[in-house]
Amino acid sequence: MSERPIPPELIDRLRRAHRVAVLTGAGISAESGVPTFREAQTGLWARYNPEELATPDAFQRNPKLVWEWYTWRQQRVRQAEPNAGHRALVEMEQRIAEFTLITQNVDGLHRRAGSHQILELHGNLFRAKCFSEDRPVESWPDSEEIPPRCPRCGGLLRPDVVWFGEMLPAATLRAAEHAAATAELFFSIGTSALVYPAADLPFAALNAGATVVEINPQPTPLSPHVTFSLNGAAGQILPALIAAAWEPTT
C-alpha cells in the first residue's frame, strides 16, 4: 500500500475524467515475476549487457545468442500471470470514455489481463519479423536453424521488438503522442522514465495542461514534475485507486 493515502483531489479528478492516458513500464509486470531492466540486482541490465543483446549490431554479430535470449524471456513471460495492477487498468478502461494504454512492455500481459486499447511502443516478444525486410512474419517452417529464416526472402528472423537506436513504430508513436497531448489525466506507472521517446510523453501531457500522476516505489527524473506522486507498488496502489474512485463505500 502507498505510504500515504491517495489524495482526495486525485480521486475526484479520476472520477470526472473523460480522457485518460496511461504509460506503463516494466515495473507494472514486476509483481507478476517478470524482471525489470534497470533495477540494481534484479534488473535484466544488471545481468546482461544491452549492447550485446538489444541492438541491431548485436544481432548482426551474434544472431543465435540474441534469438535464444529472447526465447528464454518468452518462456519466463509464459509462466507469468497478469497481476492486480494490470487488472485495475482493465477496470479503468471500462470506466473512462476515452482511454489509451501506452506500454513500453513487450510481455503482452496487459492484453492477457483484458485491456483492449493498447499501444505497444516497443513491440512484442511473441512476434517475429524479418531482419532484412523489416516485415512481420507470422509463421515459418520448422528447422534446426537458430534463428529461423524468413519464408519469403531467406533472411534471418528477429524478435519484433524495438532495440536501442531503432525507430519506434511510427503510427503507434503518433497515436501515443496524440493521447498524451489530449489527456486530462496522464499516469506514468512502473517506468524509470529514462528511455526516449517514451519518456517525453508525460511532458507532452504536462505541457498540454494535464494532471500527471506517477506510480513508482522509487523516484525518477519525472518525479519532480508530476502533479501527484504515489510512492509504492502498482499492484497495490492501482486497485486502491479504482476502489476509491468507483466502489461504493457503504
Judged by CB under 6 A, the residue of 133, 145, 152, 164 near ligand BJW is 164
- Identify which of residues 45 and 140 has a Cβ nearer to ligand BJW in the complex: 45
Q: Give bridge partners of residue 215 from the DSSP assignment.
A: 189, 230
DSSP string, 119-170: EETTEEEEEEEETTT--EE------S-SS-B-TTT-PBEEEEEPPTTSPPPH
Contacts with ligand BJW by CB under 6 A: the residue count is 36
Burial class (CB in 10 A: 0-12, 13-18, 19+), 52: middle
Q: Which is nearer to ligand BJW, 12 or 134 (CB)?
A: 134
**Separation CA 5–CA 232 (nearest Å):** 11
State the minimum distance, in angstroms, from the CB of residue 198 to ligand BJW.
7
The correct pick among 63, 155, 169, 217 for binding ligand BJW (CB under 6 A) is 217
Instruction: State which of residues 6, 17, 20, 25 lies at the interface with ligand BJW (CB under 6 A).
Output: 25
Beta carbon of residue 160, minimum distance to ligand BJW (angstroms, whole number): 10
Single residue of 21, 30, 240, 244 touching ligand BJW by CB under 6 A:
30
Contact residue for ligand BJW among 58, 204, 233, 241 (CB under 6 A):
233
Phi, psi of 225, deg, nearest 5: -100, -15
**Residue 107, SS3 per DSSP:** coil
Which helix (H) or strand (E) segment holds residue 84: the answer is helix 84-95
Whether the CB-CB separation of 237 and 230 falls below 8 Å is answered with yes
- 179: contact with ligand BJW by CB under 6 A: no
Sequence-ordered list of residues with C-beta below 8 angstroms from that of 187, at least 6 positions apart, any chain: 20, 21, 22, 23, 212, 213, 214, 215
CA distance 230 to 4: 8
The one segment of 12-20, 24-32, 138-146, 241-249 that binds ligand BJW by CB under 6 A:
24-32
- Give least dist CB 130 to ligand BJW, A: 17
Catalytic residue list contains 225: no
Taking the least distance from each CB to ligand BJW, the nearer of 30 and 150 is 30
Q: Which residue type is seen at 204?
A: A
- Which cell goes with 96? 473512462
The answer to whether residue 224 forms part of the interface with ligand BJW (CB under 6 A) is no
User: Which positions touch ligand BJW (CB under 6 A)?
Assistant: 25-27, 30-31, 36-39, 43, 54, 104, 106, 122, 161-167, 190-192, 194-197, 215-218, 220, 233-235
As annotated, the binding site for Zn(2+) includes 130, 150
As annotated, the binding site for substrate includes 70, 73
Residues known to be catalytic: 122
